[in-house]
Every structure is written in C-alpha cells, then in structure tokens.
Chain A
Amino acid sequence: MTTAIATSPSIADVIRLVQRSRLDLSSEKHLQEGVAEVLQSAGIAFEREKRLSAKDIPDFLLAGGVVIECKMRNKSKKMDIFKQLTRYATYPEVTSIILASNVSMGLPPEIDGKPLYAASLSHGWI
C-alpha cells in the first residue's frame, strides 16, 4: 500500500486534500457531503454514486477514472471493503482507486494492475 506518495501528481493532490481536511465523521452521509464540499472547492470535477453496474456504485468518480470510496470505522468488515475495491478495479473506466477511510487496514499497492491508495480520514483530526 502506498500512502501519500503517488505516481500521478493529481492523485497525490487529491489524497493530500482529503487527508488535511477535517471531515465530519459522525455518519457516512455527513462524510460524503464533506468530501464533495472539499472536492468542489478545490475545483475537482466528479460524479457522485456513478453506477458502474447495479451492484457497484462508487461514492465518487473523478475525471480520469479515479474512484474515491469512503468507509467508516466499525461500519463495514475489512474483507468486504477489499472485495468491493477488487470489483471496482475490474471496470475499464476505473484507472485507480483511493480508499478514504478511518480504518487501518493493509492494502496491496495495486489490484488488477490498477493502483490502490489509502487516504486517512484521521490525519486531519490529529
């Protein structure tokens, strides 16, 4: 898993943006609203809840095929999170994935050749 150091500068910018923002962690709804707010104010274009298929609806899809998936601690199982990200990686329109979460979990650096990054939602609050 790679944290903060990304190959493409725009991904590094997105990760840094998320990590230094103090997002409301009281519910997933509040969290996603906050992410949308910081992306918007940074002038980053995105689609919310883009349906890749009936089952796979990533929280945010950025230009260039970058997925941001938000996950809260104690709300989902780590294995389920990983399976979900693995499914996202199979879609051709997805080029890379950022897991924005406050769950400490190990992730491989890539899935199916698509880079996988973790953006900590805790960092900003420390």
Chain B
Amino acid sequence: MRTYGELRLIEGGTAWEMSSLEPHVAIRLKHIFPRVPKQSAGPFRFPRDLMHAADLDWFLSRYPLAMSDRDRDALRGGRLDFEMQQAEMERILLPEYLPPAVAGLREGQKVRHYQMQAVELLRRRRSLLLGDEGGLGKTYTAAAFLCAESGALPAAVVCDPHMQKQWKDKLTAFTHLRVHVISKASPYDLPPADVYVFRISQIGGWADIFATDFFKAAIFDEPQSLRTGTSTAKGGAAKVLSNHVSYRLGLTATPIYNYGIEMWNVMQFIDDSILGSFADFSREWTDDMGRIRDPKALGTYLREQHVLLRRLKSDVGLELPKVSRIIEYVDFDAKAVQSIEDLARVLAIRATTGTFVERGQAARELDMMVRQATGVSKAKAVAQFVRLMVEAGEPVLLVGWHRAVYDIWLEELADLRPAMYTGSETAAQKNKEKDRFLSGDTDVMIMSLRSGAGIDDLQFRSSVVVFGELDWSPGIHQQIIWRLDREGQEDPVTAFFLVSEEGSDPPIMDVLGIKASEAHQIVDPHLGVQKVDDDTTNLGRLVERYLQKVSKASKKTSPAPAPAMQLELATTGSLF
C-alpha cells in the first residue's frame, strides 16, 4: 500500500507523532486540523485521546501512513472506543432512556429525567460542564450525582461565599448526604462527611490537602468565577483539586461572562484536553484580536464532545410565565454630573498627556467615575420608578453597583426600609436581609449586580426586577433575571433596564450586545434569531393601578395631585 508518511505513538504512548509527510498531504492536514501550526514543517504532535484517534484514523483512510501493528491497533481501538462512547452518550440523551434508580434521597424527593441524563453522562464521561438554563435545578442534579455514584465521595463543592449555606440546606433537605461547611481558609481536621462545601475564597489555602487525593469529585458552582485562569491563588488551587479527583462537574448557565475566549479558562478546570493548550486554542478558534472567529462552531464542537450539556426550560417542558425585558430611558440629572465632569476633565487630560502608567490609571479611573456619575445622575428617577411599582403592590428587586447610588436610593426610599444584599454586608447579614424581604417586612430589596448568582426563593416574593445600573457583562444581568425567572414563579416576570441617553450607558449597551451575541452563539449554537418579549401591558396595568390609588388618596387628603406623580409619568411617558 502506498503511504504518505509515518505515524507513531510517542512520550510513553500519551501522544501521536506524524512525520515525513509529503508536502501536499501536510497542506491538507493543516486545513483539517487548524490546531497544527501553519508554519510548522513537522513532525506534528497530537494528544492521544479518543477524539483524535477517530479523526486521525479517518484521515489515514485517505492518506495511509506507515505505522507499527501495535500503534495501528491502538489507533483503531481508540476510534472504536470513540464510536462506542458517542453511541452511549447519544443513548443517554434520548427521551426514552431509562435511568437507574437513585438511592440516598430523602423520602418523597425525586430526580427528574433530564437531571438523571446529566448524572449518567457525568458518571461515564467523568467531566461535564452542565450549562442548563437557570432554574432547571442544577444543584439538585449535582446532589443526585453524589448519591448515584459512590466513587464520587467525599466530594468538594466550590462556590461563591453567599452560596455556602444554600448548598448545605439544599443537600440536606434533598438527600441523606452528610454535609460539612468549611469554616476556614487554612486546613484543619475535617469532621467525617460526604460533601465539603468551600467558598471560592477559601480554597487557596487548601491546595496541599487537595493534592492528597482525599476528594474524589469536584463540583465547581459557577466556574466562570475562575475565568481569570490558573494563575490566581484560587485558580491554582482549583486546578490542583481538578487534577486530583475522579469526577469534575461545573454548574453554570452562563459559562461566559464577557468574551468567548473565557471558555478556555473555564475548561481548564473541567476537561483540559478538550481545547488543548492556549496556543492550540488560539490557532484553532480565535482571530488576531483574540475574539472567537466562529462562535457557533465552538458551540457545536463542545456539544459533540458532550463536555457541555445544556437544556433550555422549553427543552424539558418546564413552562414558566414569560419574561419581558423593557429598556426605559429615564431622566438624567445634569447637575449631579457637573462636579464629577470637572474632575473627569482633569483625568481626561492626564489620560492623553501623562506617562504610560498615569495614562492607564487615569483611563480606568475615568471609566469608573463616568459609570458612577451615570448611576448617580439617574438614581432619583430610578427610586421614583421603584416607588411607583411598590405602591402599585409589586415587591421589587432593585439592582445597582455603586455605594453612592445605593445611598441615594436608601434616602429616597427611606420609608420603605429596603433590604440590602450588596458587597457591604456579611454573608450572615445578607441572609437576614433576604429573609426580611421574603417575609414581607419590606417590599424592596437592593441587590448588587455581582452578589446575586445562585440565590433562590426570591421568585416566591417578586416578579419585577429593576436594573438601576448596568454591568459590563451580560451574563450578570441574566443571572439576576433568573433569580425571579425560576421554578415557583407564578407571575410574568418583567425586567426593567433604566438607562440614560448620556454618560456610560450607551457605550456599555453596545459592548453588552457584542458580548452577549458571542456568548449566545457558543452556548446555544442551534437557536436562530430570537425575539425578545418587550410587552409593556404589565407595566401599563401597574401604572393604572398606581394612578387609581394616588387619585383616591389625594381626594381624601388634599385636592392637589402628588408632585411625585407628575415626575413618574414623565419617566414612563414614552411607553404609552
């Protein structure tokens, strides 16, 4: 048989090396495997995994390469294993798949079919990024996995600080697993338990314990928190954990917070063979600017590898009330901005004329100040809008970022005594404030854009979220909307984005659009152009109810209409 080069196993059988390729075959190879450096003349190295076995074996059917019988058997075997694995995964994902029963659940608790599919996929594949849409019960899926797979215990859960308690509560209520909440950032004698729940900020000190193979499974809750990679203390420790367990599970509906390139970092903790080294990944997937060249292709690739499993609510027949997103332009208080603008002018001059370090610093400060100024300038209008909602009988989740903005809201809404769930409160205070909102002690909860991922139960209390400030990352907005748009919600959810035509809002919105589009193509490559529901009838109903209330009240007390009402009408006027 004519051959076009050689292929052999190298590095103790962990990699393939292709050498002595005829030049035209090398060109073909580079077309088919974009991971191969274009300028390389060979030999070419490929990792020995099932996917490469399948792809190489297929390439060899067109361009046979000389190889030893032993290596040929290894390649064939790899391809057959790949095909069997693919068939097995496909079988699990079929609607008629019958999962085995799970022991260890509390009486009356059930695991849903789609959750069991994820459990069985993870048991076979051993690493999985579960990207189910918010509200599908990812925590329960993880709990079911820990019950179903005895080889996964003891397990380590790594989560955001405010989620530690919720993990314990949910696992304890759903299963008989013994849960220990880690209390320190440095190792101590661990009590016997099945699951240990770490805050992400604690794991830096535990790397040596992780390296002892004590934990058998790692569950990364919202692993996009690790998107800065393995070079940080928490990232380094998470990588050690990931390397020393048998099972790795990531739970997030928004694996990408900013640009698609973050997917590589997240995959380092789940399955680092999937996207190769960063150099491989860059060659294969990104353009000169570091943006993903074809986000849809990356999305379909991750799905074919079954490393990303994502179902939407509609996929699993979970019907929730619809969500409307309404962008509303609010008044902008020019005076509030004046003083900051003067300072900004000085900074702007420094940003263009200063030394290199000064310029960078000034530009960052400028960005921060403009964002804060934008938030401050519309804070009063936002507070009035929230009051309108509350007085119409709707409890409101109000979301912002800057302390200065919260202060204005707190002052304007002082009589409503808003609950605070922001960066300033401890985890314990946050839980207390959340309870105050849930129990009906207050109708407003002010939440920070970045402290909301994962919290549950708000859906039983509210269906209106008001964004008084924007985040640079679209995933953050989605996370917050999912606090209300989840199982248990009985009313249509309305998300109001109150923005101004000045300041930082317009450019932030443009960047948000680009990021959201890129992330969407990767995570949901098969969905076409989606239309957003911008139904304002819910708002119209609320305003009407409010006006009736106000006119009744003003008839009783004084004939003059409340001055606030005029302003509120001005704010919402463009809707009608």
Judge whether A24 and B512 touch: CB under 8 Å.
Answer: no
Contact assessment for B532 and A20 in the assembled complex, using a CB-CB cutoff below 8 Å: yes
By beta carbon, the residue of chain B nearest A74 is B514
The complex places the Cα of A37 from the Cα of B528 at a distance, in Å, of: 9
Closest to B497 in A: A126
Classify chain A's interface size. Answer: 20 to 34
- In the complex, what residue of chain A is closest to B517 when comparing beta carbons? A25
A125 x B474 contact (CB < 8 A): yes
Residues of B within 8 A of A120 (CB): 509, 513
Contact, CB under 8 Å: B529 / A21: yes
Residues of B with C-beta under 8 A to A103: 510
Would you call B531 and A21 a contact (CB within 8 A)?
yes
Task: Tell me if A124 is interfacial: C-beta within 8 Å of chain B.
Answer: yes
Number of chain B residues whose Cβ lies closer than 8 Å to a Cβ of chain A: 30
**Set of chain A residues within 8 Å of B531, measured between Cβ atoms:** 20-22, 38, 124
Query: Taking the complex as formed, is B325 at the interface, i.e. its CB lies under 8 A from any CB of chain A?
Result: yes
Contact across chains for B325 and A38 when beta carbons are under 8 A apart: no
Query: A26 an interface residue at 8 Å Cβ cutoff?
Result: yes
Chain A residues closer than 8 Å to B497, beta-carbon distance: 126
Q: Which residue of A lies closest to B329 (CB)?
A: A3
List A contacts of B327 (CB < 8 A): 123, 126
Asked if B452 is an interface residue, CB under 8 A from chain A, the answer is: no
A34 CA to B530 CA, complexed, in Å: 10
Closest to B527 in A: A22
Most chain B beta carbons < 10 A, residue from A21, A24, A26, A103: A26
Chain A residues contacting B509 (CB-CB under 8 Å) are 104, 120, 122-123, 126
Q: How far is the CA of A19 from the CA of B435 in the complex (A)?
A: 38
A26: B residues at CB distance < 8 A: 292, 294-296, 517-518, 521
- At the interface, yes or no: A121 with Cβ under 8 Å from chain B? yes
Q: Is B314 an interface residue (CB 8 A)?
A: no
By the criterion CB–CB under 8 Å, are B529 and A125 in contact? no
Is B177 an interface residue, CB under 8 A from the partner?
no
Q: Is the CB of B510 within 8 A of A104?
A: yes
A121 to B517, CA, bound (A): 10
Residues of B within 8 A of A23 (CB): 517, 529
Within 8 A of B (CB), among A1-28: 4-5, 16, 19-26
Would you call B520 and A22 a contact (CB within 8 A)? yes
Is A86 positioned at the interface, with any CB of B under 8 Å from its CB? no
Confirm or deny: A50 has a beta carbon within 8 angstroms of a beta carbon on chain B: no
Contact between chains at B529 and A24 (CB < 8 Å) = yes
A24–B521 contact, CB under 8 A? yes
B294, B507, B530: the one contacting A21 at CB < 8 Å is B530
Cβ contact within 8 Å between B529 and A122:
no
Interface residues in B508-551 by Cβ distance below 8 A to A read 509-514, 516-518, 520-521, 528-534
A interface footprint on B342-380 (CB within 8 Å = 1, 0 otherwise): 000000000000000000000000000000000000000
B488: which A residues are within 8 A, CB to CB? none
B474, A102: Cβ atoms closer than 8 Å: no
A122: shortest Cβ distance to chain B, in Å?
3
Tell yes or no: B574 within 8 A of A by CB. yes
Binary A-proximity of B279-319 (CB < 8 A = 1, otherwise 0): 00000000000001011100000000000000000000000
Whole-angstrom distance between the alpha carbons of A22 and B574 in the complex? 23
Contact of B510 with A73 in the complex, beta carbons under 8 Å? yes
Contact of B513 among A4, A16, A37, A121 (CB under 8 A): A121
Contacts of B530 in A (CB 8 A): 21-22, 124
Q: Are A125 and B528 in contact (CB under 8 A)?
A: no
Residues on B with beta carbons closer than 8 Å to the beta carbon of A124: 513, 530-532
In the complex, per-residue mask of A86-117: 1 if CB is within 8 Å of any chain B CB, else 0: 00000000000000001110000000000000
The CA-CA distance from A121 to B510 in the complex, in Å, is: 8
**Known contacts A5-B574, A20-B534, A26-B521, A125 near B512 by CB under 8 Å:** yes
Task: Confirm or deny: B35 has a beta carbon within 8 angstroms of a beta carbon on chain A.
Answer: no
Report Cα–Cα, A23/B530, bound state, in Å: 8
Contacting pair B507 A104 (CB below 8 A)? yes
Contact B510 A122 (CB under 8 A): yes
* 15 A-B contacts (beta carbon < 8 Å): A20-B531, A20-B532, A21-B530, A21-B531, A22-B516, A22-B531, A22-B532, A23-B517, A38-B531, A73-B510, A73-B514, A104-B510, A120-B509, A120-B513, A124-B531
Known: A104-B510, A124-B513. 7 other contacts (CB 8 A): A19-B534, A23-B529, A26-B295, A122-B509, A122-B513, A123-B532, A126-B327
* B binding-site residues for A, Cβ under 8 Å: 292, 294-296, 325, 327, 474, 477, 497, 506-507, 509-514, 516-518, 520-521, 528-534, 574
